[in-house]
A and B are shown apart, each in its own frame.
Chain A
Amino acid sequence: MKSFHIGGVHPAENKLSAGSPIREAALPRQAVFSMFQHIGAPAKPVVQKGDTVKVGTLLAEAGGFVSAPVYSSVSGKVNKIDAVVDASGTRRMAVIVDVEGDEWEETIDRSKSLVRLSDRPDLDSKTIVEKIKNAGIVGMGGATFPCHVKLTPPPGSKAECVIINAVECEPYLTADHRLMLEHPEEILVGVDLIMKAVNVTKGYIGIENNKPDAIRLMTEKAKQYPGIEVVPLKVKYPQGGEKQLIDAVIGRQVPAPPAIPINVGAVVQNVGTAYAIYEAVMKNKPLIDRVITVTGKSVRNPSNLLARLGTPFQQLIDECGGLPEDTGKVIGGGPMMGKALLSLDVPMTKGSSGLLIMNKKEARRAEPQPCIRCAKCVSACPMGLEPYLLSKLASMEEWETAEKNDIVSCIECGSCQFTCPSNRPLLDMIRVGKTTVMGIIRNRAAAKK
C-alpha cells in the first residue's frame, strides 16, 4: 500500500465519532466572524453597526490577493465590530452579529439536487476560480490558505494533477470521513471542478486505510467520473501532510521552501474544500458552515456537527452533552497539530476541523528530561530533519545554523515531540526558531529589493 517514505508515527486513532452521522447544530444567539479566518491579509469589514444581514450577506471583503472574504452565516443585526479573543489566543478584529430568525439570500440554491459538471457546460476555468474566490473558500483541513491562490499557478509552472486530501490522519477527527460517506457525489463534482479550474484530467483522492467504508463508496461512485482515482493509503501520521501526500500518491518530492507543490505539478486540496467548492460553484453558496468533530474520551456524545461559522465553541460542546467534569484541556483541531483554547467563547472559523476535549490525565504534559540522544525524533521526522538539534539551536538562538539545518522545512507535525522518550518540548522550541528564521529570511529578501 502507498505511503510517504521518511519517518512517521502511529498515534492511537481514537476515532470515537466515526459512526455518528452529521447533524445540524442549532443556530447561535450571537455569531462572531473573525477577520482572520485565513492565512494572509485580514478581511476588511464592509458592514456597519446596526446593518441588517441575511445568511450569505457579505460582511467583509478580501484584504488582498492572498486573503478571503467573509460572509454572514446567520441573519440578524450587526451588533458591533470589535476585537475579540479568537482561537489563536490573541484579540483580533471581528464582526459580531445578533441572530434573528434564519433568512437566506435568495441567490443561494438550497435544494439538495445534485448538479454535475456536465449539466453546466458554461463553466470555464476562469469562472470557476472567480466563484471560488468570491465565496471566501480556504483550505478547510486547518491550513486555511485561500483556495483560489493555489488554483492560480504562478507563471512558468503548470499543474499536472489534482490530489484530494481525504486522509484525515489526525487522531479523533472524523469530519472528512463522514462527509465522504454522506456526500460522495458532491465531493466528486467538487474534484471535477478543481480539475477543470487548473486544466488537468487526472485527479487522485488519497484516503487512509482506516476508513474502508469511505474507500469502497468513493471508488464505487468515482467510476462515473473519468480521470478520478481513489488511492488507499497506509495508516501513518502525517500521511495528510501536503508534501507527504504528494510523495505517497505520485511519488514526487517537493524540495525545501520556497518550493511549493505546484513546482512538482501537484495541486492539493482538502476533501472538505472540494465539498465547499461544489456548493459555491453549483449552488451559489458562500462558505458559511462546515462539519466539525466534537469529541473526547469523556464527552458524552462525540459527534460530527454541521455548524454555522461564528458559533461559539461552548454551544457546540453543549450539543454533545456538555463539558465533562474532568476536562483538562480543550483543543481546537486534532491532538497532534491543534491548539489549546484559552476560552470556550472563541467562535468557530473556516479552519475549525475539530474540537477535542481532553481529560485531566491526557492533557498533562509529562516532565521533560534531558535528551538521551536516542535519535527517535530523527527517525520519526517526516521531513528528514534533526529535531533534537533544531530545538537546541533555537533555544541557543543560533539562527544561522538553524537555517542551514533547514528549520523552515519543519511542517510542525509534532511527530518528534510525540515520539521523544524524554518528553522534550521539541516542537515548542522549533516553532520559535522557525518563525524567527522565516522573519530573518523575509527581511533579507526585503533588503535585497
Chain B
Amino acid sequence: MNVILIAVIVLGVIGLVSALVLYFISHKFAVHEDPRIAQVSEVLPQANCGGCGYPGCSGFAAACVKAADAGSLEGKLCPVGGQPVMEQVAGILGMAAVASAPKVAVVRCNGTCENRPRNAEFDGAVSCRVKNMTGMGDTGCPYGCLGCGDCVSKCQFGAISMDAETGLPVVDEEKCTACGACAKACPRSIIEIRLKGPKGRRVVVLCNNKDKGAIANKACKASCIGCGKCVKTCEKFQAITLENNLAYIDAEKCKMCRKCEEACPKGAIHGFNFPPRKPKAEEPAVQSTDNTPNQNVEPSKAE
C-alpha cells in the first residue's frame, strides 16, 4: 500500500514540476506570430502552388503582412485568387488593394504536326526536359514545343492539356490561374504568362524561333522569320519589338488593332477571343482598308 502511495506521490510531484517548467518555458520562448498572418492565410485559396513566388500560401501571407508594415502591397499578387482575394487581403491589413490585371498562360508555338515536319523519331523517356537534351528534338525547330507535356503534368488546376491532333498544349482560359507552374516547367520557355487583355482579347506572336529567317522558314510553316513587317505596321503604337529574329508584342502597348496579324507573311501572329471578322468589324481600328481576307485568324474560342 505504502509503495503505491509513494509511487503516486513521486509521479505526481514530478508531473507537477514538469508542468510548471514547461509552462514557464513556453511563456519565455513563445514565438509571437502576427495574428494577421493567420487571418490573411485564411482568405487565400490554399492552393500552395507557389505562383505568388513564395513557399505556399502561409509564406505569402507573412510576406503580405511584412509588406503592409512597410507601407505598400505593391507587387504582391496571388494569381489564383486574383483581384477579389487581394482586395480581401488589403482589407484585413487596412491597405488599399493595388490594381492588377488578370493574366493567362499563352503557348507561344504553333508548330503543329502540319506546320512542322518531323524529321526524326524520339524514343527516349517521355519528358520535354529529356527531349530537349537531344538538341534539336525531332523537328527542325530548336525553339518549338517538344510535345511531351511537362507543362501539362505541372498544372494543378487541370488548365492545360495536350491536343493530340496538333501535338501542342492547349490552355483552358477559364481554368488557368496564371500561377506560372507550366511556364517554369517548359525547358524551352515557350509558355508566357501574359496579360489576359480586355474580354480576354489579345494579340500574340505564336512562335519562339530565334533562328535566321531562312532557317526558321525551312523548319516550320508557322515560324516568325524576323522580317519586321509587323514592326513597321505598328509604328504608331510601338508595341512590337524585334530581337534575335523574333517579334514580340508588348501587351501593355498593344491597342488590338490586329493590323500586324494581317501584315505577317507567315501568319505567326494570332488574335485570341476576337469575334469572327465581319465586313464591318466591331473594332474601330480594323477598317476595311485592307481587303485581303485573313486566313490565319483562329476561330474565336468560346468565352
Question: A interface vs B, CB < 8 Å?
Answer: 85, 88-91, 339-340, 342-343, 364-365, 368, 395, 425, 428-429, 431-432, 435
CB of B155, distance to nearest CB on chain A (Å)? 15
Contact of A89 among B129, B134, B215 (CB under 8 A): B134
Are A428 and B123 in contact, with the CB atoms below 8 A?
no
Are A428 and B136 in contact, with the CB atoms below 8 A?
no
Are B135 and A432 in contact, with the CB atoms below 8 A?
no
- The answer, yes or no, to whether B198 is at the interface (CB within 8 Å) is no
Contact of B127 among A364, A395, A435 (CB under 8 A): A395
Residue of B nearest to A88 (CB): B135
Residues of the B chain whose Cβ atoms lie less than 8 Å from the Cβ of A89: 134-137
A90 to B137, CA, bound (A): 9
- The answer, yes or no, to whether B133 is at the interface (CB within 8 Å) is yes
A90 to B124, CA, bound (A): 18
Are B125 and A429 in contact, with the CB atoms below 8 A?
yes
Are A428 and B119 in contact, with the CB atoms below 8 A?
no
Are A364 and B123 in contact, with the CB atoms below 8 A?
yes
A91 to B123, CA, bound (A): 22
CB of B262, distance to nearest CB on chain A (Å)? 31
Are A428 and B211 in contact, with the CB atoms below 8 A?
no
Contact of A429 among B127, B137, B142 (CB under 8 A): B127
- The answer, yes or no, to whether B164 is at the interface (CB within 8 Å) is no
Residues of the B chain whose Cβ atoms lie less than 8 Å from the Cβ of A340: 134
Q: Which of B193-249 contact A (CB under 8 A)?
A: 211, 215
Interface string of B243-271 (1 = CB under 8 A from A): 00000000000000000000000000000
A343 to B138, CA, bound (A): 11
Are A85 and B136 in contact, with the CB atoms below 8 A?
yes
- The answer, yes or no, to whether B120 is at the interface (CB within 8 Å) is yes
A432 to B133, CA, bound (A): 8
**8 tightest CB-CB pairs across the interface, nearest first?**
A89-B135, A425-B125, A428-B125, A90-B135, A428-B130, A365-B123, A89-B136, A432-B129
Residues of the B chain whose Cβ atoms lie less than 8 Å from the Cβ of A364: 123
A343 to B211, CA, bound (A): 18
With A89-B135, A431-B133 as known contacts, state yes or no: A342 contacts B125, CB within 8 Å. no
Residues of the A chain whose Cβ atoms lie less than 8 Å from the Cβ of B130: 425, 428-429, 431-432
Count chain A CB atoms within 10 A of each CB in B123, B125, B129, B211 and give the residue with the most: B125
Are B133 and A90 in contact, with the CB atoms below 8 A?
no
Are A342 and B120 in contact, with the CB atoms below 8 A?
yes
* Number of residues on chain B facing chain A (CB within 8 A): 16
Are B133 and A342 in contact, with the CB atoms below 8 A?
no
Are A90 and B125 in contact, with the CB atoms below 8 A?
no
Main SS of the interface on chain B?
Answer: loop
Residue of A nearest to B134 (CB): A89
Are A428 and B142 in contact, with the CB atoms below 8 A?
no
A398 to B208, CA, bound (A): 29
Residues of the B chain whose Cβ atoms lie less than 8 Å from the Cβ of A435: 133
28 contacts between A and B (CB under 8 A): A85-B136, A88-B135, A89-B137, A90-B135, A90-B136, A91-B136, A91-B142, A91-B211, A91-B215, A339-B134, A340-B134, A342-B119, A342-B135, A342-B136, A343-B119, A364-B123, A365-B123, A368-B125, A425-B124, A428-B127, A428-B130, A429-B125, A429-B127, A429-B130, A431-B130, A432-B129, A432-B130, A435-B133
CB of B198, distance to nearest CB on chain A (Å)? 37
Q: Which of B114-164 contact A (CB under 8 A)?
A: 119-120, 123-125, 127, 129-130, 133-137, 142
A90 to B142, CA, bound (A): 7
Count chain B CB atoms within 10 A of each CB in A88, A339, A340, A342 and give the residue with the most: A342
A368 to B125, CA, bound (A): 9
Residues of the B chain whose Cβ atoms lie less than 8 Å from the Cβ of A431: 130, 133
Residue of B nearest to A82 (CB): B212
A409 to B128, CA, bound (A): 24
CB of A422, distance to nearest CB on chain B (Å)? 13
A89 to B211, CA, bound (A): 15
Are B134 and A365 in contact, with the CB atoms below 8 A?
no
Residue of A nearest to B137 (CB): A89
A91 to B124, CA, bound (A): 21
A429 to B142, CA, bound (A): 20
Residue of B nearest to A433 (CB): B129
A435 to B123, CA, bound (A): 20
A365 to B129, CA, bound (A): 18
CB of A368, distance to nearest CB on chain B (Å)? 8
CB of A370, distance to nearest CB on chain B (Å)? 14
A339 to B130, CA, bound (A): 13
Residue of B nearest to A92 (CB): B135
A7 to B125, CA, bound (A): 24
Residue of B nearest to A91 (CB): B142
Given A85-B135, A85-B136, A429-B127, 13 further pairs, Cβ under 8 A = A89-B135, A91-B211, A342-B135, A342-B136, A365-B123, A365-B124, A425-B124, A425-B125, A425-B130, A429-B125, A429-B130, A431-B130, A432-B127
CB of A356, distance to nearest CB on chain B (Å)? 16
CB of B144, distance to nearest CB on chain A (Å)? 14
Residues of the B chain whose Cβ atoms lie less than 8 Å from the Cβ of A429: 125, 127, 130
A432 to B129, CA, bound (A): 7
Residues of the A chain whose Cβ atoms lie less than 8 Å from the Cβ of B124: 365, 425, 428
Residue of B nearest to A87 (CB): B135
CB of A414, distance to nearest CB on chain B (Å)? 12
CB of B194, distance to nearest CB on chain A (Å)? 25
Residues of the B chain whose Cβ atoms lie less than 8 Å from the Cβ of A90: 135-136, 142
CB of A84, distance to nearest CB on chain B (Å)? 10
Residues of the A chain whose Cβ atoms lie less than 8 Å from the Cβ of B125: 368, 425, 428-429
CB of B98, distance to nearest CB on chain A (Å)? 31
Residues of the B chain whose Cβ atoms lie less than 8 Å from the Cβ of A365: 123-124
A432 to B125, CA, bound (A): 11
A89 to B139, CA, bound (A): 11
CB of A174, distance to nearest CB on chain B (Å)? 27
Residues of the A chain whose Cβ atoms lie less than 8 Å from the Cβ of B135: 85, 88-90, 342
A395 to B128, CA, bound (A): 11
A343 to B218, CA, bound (A): 15
Residue of A nearest to B187 (CB): A432
Residues of the B chain whose Cβ atoms lie less than 8 Å from the Cβ of A343: 119
CB of A387, distance to nearest CB on chain B (Å)? 13
A343 to B130, CA, bound (A): 19
